[in-house]
Amino acid sequence: MSIFKGAGVAIITPFHEDGSVDYESFARLIEFQIANGTDAIIVCGTTGEASTLSHEEHLDVVGFCIKQVAGRIPVVAGTGSNCTETAVYLSQEAEKLGADGVLLVSPYYNKATQNGLYTHFKTIADSIHIPVILYNIQGRTGVNIAPATIARLFHDVDNIVAVKEASGNISQVAHIAQLTDGQMDIYSGNDDQIVPILSLGGKGVISVLSNIAPKQTHDICQLYFDGKVEESAREQLRALPLVDALFCEVNPIPVKSAASYLGYGKNELRLPMTVMEEPNQERLKKAMIEYGIEGMA
- Surface-to-core class of residue 54, CB atoms within 10 Å of its CB (0-12 exposed, 13-18 middle, 19+ buried): exposed
Residue ranges of the chain with per-residue pLDDT less than 50:
297
List 111, 122, 135, 187, catalytic entry? 135
* Bridge partners (DSSP) listed for residue 7: 205
List 108, 111, 164, 264, catalytic entry? 164
* Of 52, 47, 45, residue with least CA distance to 80: 45
The kind and range of the H/E element at 244 are helix 229-246
DSSP helix/strand/coil, 61: helix
The reported pLDDT for the residue numbered 294 is 73
Backbone angles phi, psi at 280, to 5 degrees: -70, -30
Half-sphere exposure of 139 (CA within 13 A, CB side): 10
How far apart are alpha carbons 132 and 184 in whole angstroms? Answer: 11
Residue-wise pLDDT tens digits, 65-77: 999 999 999 999 9
The reported pLDDT for the residue numbered 297 is 44
190-199: burial string, b at 16+ Cβ within 10 Å, e else:
bbbbbbbbbe
How far apart are alpha carbons 88 and 175 in whole angstroms? Answer: 29
118 counts as catalytic = no
Cα torsion at 66, 15, 296, 272 (round to 10°)?
-120
Number of neighbouring beta carbons within 10 Å of residue 273? 17
For the entire predicted model, the pTM comes to 0.97
Check if the beta carbon of residue 3 is closer than 8 Å to that of residue 76.
yes
How far apart are alpha carbons 90 and 247 in whole angstroms? Answer: 28
DSSP helix/strand/coil, 80: coil
135 counts as catalytic = yes
